[in-house]
Amino acid sequence: MITGELKNRIDSLWEIFWTGGLTNPLDVIEQMTYLMFIHDLDVSDNIHAKESAMLGLPYESVFSKEVKIGERIIDGTQLKWSVFRDYPADRMYSVVQEMVFPFIKNLHANKESAFSKYMDDAIFKLPTPLMLSKVVDAMDDLYTQMAKLNDSDARGDVYEYLLSKLATAGVNGQFRTPRHIIKMMVELMDPKADDIICDPSCGTAGFLVESGEYLWANKKDEIFYDKQKKDHFMNHMFHGFDMDRTMLRIGAMNMMNHRVESPFIEYRDSLSDQNPDTDKYSLILANPPFKGSLDADIVSSDLLKVCKTKKTELLFLALFVRMLKVGGRCACIVPDGVLFGSSKAHKDIRKEIVENQRLEAVISMPSGVFKPYAGVSTAILIFTKTNYGGTDNVWFYDMQADGFSLDDKRSAVTENDIPDIIERFRNRDAEMERKRTEKSFMVPKQEIVDNSYDLSINKYKEVEYVAVEYPPTSEIMANIRKLEMEISKEMEGLEQLLNL
């Protein structure tokens, strides 16, 4: 959690960009991401060099003695953050713009990291040498403050705080699912040390990051004292796809700032034939974009066989089923229309999940969860891929509060159903006797089938009406006449005062 001095330093750094003319939050975070990568490249190179020297092993620095930039051969040491930060502003600006950026844009050839793969179209946008000098000084102060904290979570918290500014920046809010909703979904799914986790529309990789943090907090000993499981966590567990290269860069950096050395973050249109993944993942966590409709020509034919539609919210559900291995689990956010839509495609995808897979839960969320940027009502679907059915009773929960006000301000409040949701989901057997008037209850599969696979909670929830007794009409009329007489008397008194 970012508090106090660290938060103030980040805000001051943000203000340098703002006052310098970079006012798009996505641009600010992108430029910060580049500079953080440049800084970390220097630090990690020094660490590897020291470790190799201690072990008596050879080590070739990425900042080798001579580096080719275009047609020039230059001394690679001047590309190190620790070197160019001491240059005068004009020289620093020239080195970073003309040498450092071309250098890191070509690092993907050496496969240094997932992040470096997406640097080839990076653009250096800081407009002046003075602004770069101020930013470099501020970032040095920020790293010094993080080092003083001696907190392994500080780097990840700093990056999460930066990303949270997307959610307070107008149209860019669509890039982020609220962190507490992501955290709830991860806790519901309880990731395992051997899971292969995927988000086919990863954005800033929030679901993948939170999954890693959950494993670190709950299964650290199991992972980090087992060489094979640690390698799986660092290099093979996390997979994310997106069609926005800026998001890929930010997402990859987000993962690396949260201990994952080599996440598989890739440019991919998940709904097209460009995505060959079938029966591959054991856990999918996602809040896919709902653009409305797509050109059917670019959609994978496998998905159209499940539900013939152009609607992305339905196609992504079909995709999740295809990408999961048998026994794999999925928790995804869908707009409410998916739950009760009457078109053939809507019914087909719901039937697929209810009849051929095992639908476990439908959690209805209030429309204010995504405010102030969207007032759409959404729900979380949780299911397991079986390919032979298995749905028996489906657990429904009517979330009415998520710990924040449901208006545009989204202020913190005491009412919060999330702890109750997690506890009840983990003990669903005890929910069988709950009444339909409660927040949560079970619905038998056959009842869902009889209702054309409608998954809207309002279809099954019972509302208790409490009778209200009113006084007889004669009594109400007498009270009205009494009030009229009192008003008339007061009016007469007022007229007398005015005549004086």
CATH number at residue 382: 3.40.50.150
How many structural domains compose the chain? 2
Is 172 a domain residue? no
- Measured N-to-C along each axis, helices 206-224 and 179-189 cross at an angle, to the nearest 10 degrees, of 40
What count of other Cβ atoms lies within 10 Å of the Cβ of residue 263?
28
Distance CA 389, CA 32 (A): 48
- Write the burial class of residue 461 (CB in 10 Å: 0-12 exposed, 13-18 middle, 19+ buried): middle
- Compare 165 and 152 and report the one with higher pLDDT: 165
pLDDT score for 149: 73
pLDDT score for 173: 36
Q: Which residues pair with 324 in a beta bridge?
A: 281
pLDDT score for 318: 94
Q: Please check whether residues 159 and 283 belong to one and the same domain.
A: no
pLDDT score for 113: 64
Give the whole-number percent of the chain exceeding pLDDT 90: 48
Is 472 a domain residue? no
Q: Please check whether residues 135 and 274 belong to one and the same domain.
A: no
Is 215 a domain residue? no
Question: What's the pLDDT band for 184 if we cut at 50, 70, 90?
Answer: very high
For residue 82, give its domain range: 4-163
Is 437 a domain residue? yes
Question: What's the pLDDT band for 169 if we cut at 50, 70, 90?
Answer: very low
Distance CA 198, CA 59 (A): 34
For 15-33, how does the pLDDT look when each residue is reduced to its tens digit (9 = 90+)?
999 998 888 888 898 899 8
Q: Which residues pair with 199 in a beta bridge?
A: 240
Which among 120, 148, 163 is the end of a domain? 163
Q: Please check whether residues 274 and 133 belong to one and the same domain.
A: no
Question: What's the pLDDT band for 132 if we cut at 50, 70, 90?
Answer: very high
Distance CA 288, CA 17 (A): 31
For 56-114, how does the pLDDT look when each residue is reduced to its tens digit (9 = 90+)?
878 878 787 677 666 777 788 888 999 999 999 999 999 999 888 888 877 765 555 67
Do the Cβ atoms of 131 and 31 come closer than 8 Å? Answer: no
Structure tokens belonging to residue 375: 């007032």
Distance CA 325, CA 320 (A): 10
Is 486 a domain residue? no
Distance CA 35, CA 162 (A): 14
pLDDT score for 151: 64
DSSP letter at 352 equals I
Q: Please check whether residues 32 and 146 belong to one and the same domain.
A: yes
Is 316 a domain residue? yes
Q: Please check whether residues 275 and 137 belong to one and the same domain.
A: no
Residues 6+ apart with CB under 8 A from 449: 354, 355
| Most confident stretch, 236-245, 259-268, 283-292, 328-337 | 328-337
pLDDT score for 172: 37
- Write the burial class of residue 436 (CB in 10 Å: 0-12 exposed, 13-18 middle, 19+ buried): middle
pLDDT score for 50: 87
Q: Please check whether residues 447 and 300 belong to one and the same domain.
A: yes
For 221-268, how does the pLDDT look when each residue is reduced to its tens digit (9 = 90+)?
888 888 899 999 988 999 999 988 888 888 888 888 787 878 899 889
Structure tokens belonging to residue 31: 């430029």
Distance CA 384, CA 407 (A): 34
Helix spans in 273-376 (H): 301-306, 312-323, 337-340, 344-351
Distance CA 474, CA 166 (A): 61
Is 304 a domain residue? yes
Query: What percentage of the chain's residues is helix, strand, coil (to nearest 5)?
Result: 55, 15, 35
**CA 60 to centroid of chain Cα atoms:** 37
Is 425 a domain residue? yes
Which among 118, 145, 163 is the end of a domain? 163
Which among 138, 163, 188 is the end of a domain? 163
* Average pLDDT for the chain: 87
